Structure 1
Amino acid sequence: MAEIKLSQGKFAIVDDGDFEYLSQFRWHVTDHGYACRKNSSKNVYMHRELMGFPKGLQIDHINGNGLDNRRSNLRVVTAHENRKNSGIRSDNVSGYKGVSWDRKNSKWKVGITVSSKWIHLGRFESLTDAAKAYNDGAIKYNGEYARLNVIKEEESA
């Protein structure tokens, strides 16, 4: 594993075998958290530089870290598969994917979107139980593409 220096004091992680080739370019980090370089007037993303440009497909960072460009962390996916591995929404207040507060019932409400349809997974008193319920649903509906909640220690005790 090697690191390539980016703008803003950040680094991209790459395999040792890719370091020499990638380090010949000047890379920066984008607002969306990806390593990128300029080629004439267009952006070239590091993960696409490594995995190619498959027509109609995308490159997914399995662990959700757009700066981790080790080949073991990259996979070619459809847009639909890539959405399954999306991170937590910026307007989320629970701290967990798929979990929101239901004011009417004073419980944590859990749901997941599958093929553009929202599926209700239940309501829970405990935030931890709600986060675990989302994880169960994500595994059931998203399989290998599921992005699971990491349960915080103080809540699982």
Structure 2
Amino acid sequence: MEPVTTLTAAAIANLAFQKFVEAGAGEMAKKFTTDAIAKIDDLRQKIVARLRGKTEKLDEALVKAEAGDRTVLETISKHLDVVMDDAPEFAAEIRAIAHEITLQQIQDNSSMNQTNYGGTNYQTKTGQDNTNFFGGTHNHGQK
């Protein structure tokens, strides 16, 4: 199977509303390219346009998701799954957009190193943006 056809309604809904349920645009910018963020907005708009007006409960869930409530994503994904089953063209369209977005995710290709000096071991992770994270491990032995 191609990756485009394996994207579930739940994965697509989570991706489409991620901007709202995460801490904010700053977190999105760390994970996705600018083009991907624009495609996420496009994906969300297509989903909302297709689902709006189906039921009052779903309309409330869409409003809550856009307000940052992640608990309603299950409701949205269940309805999206039904719509995707009923409209294969729509399903193919949003799966293709979601697939394009996932291809534009920013990968964390940094490495983690551990250096041992006597009783203290330091672990260092250097990221792409030259951000360094230092953590220490202290071993306590019995006397």
Shorter-chain TM-score bucket reads under 0.3
TM-score, normalised on structure 2? 0.21
**Higher normalized contact order (CA 8 Å, seq sep 6+, divided by chain length):** 2
Higher strand residue share? 1
Higher helix residue share? 2
Larger radius of gyration: 2
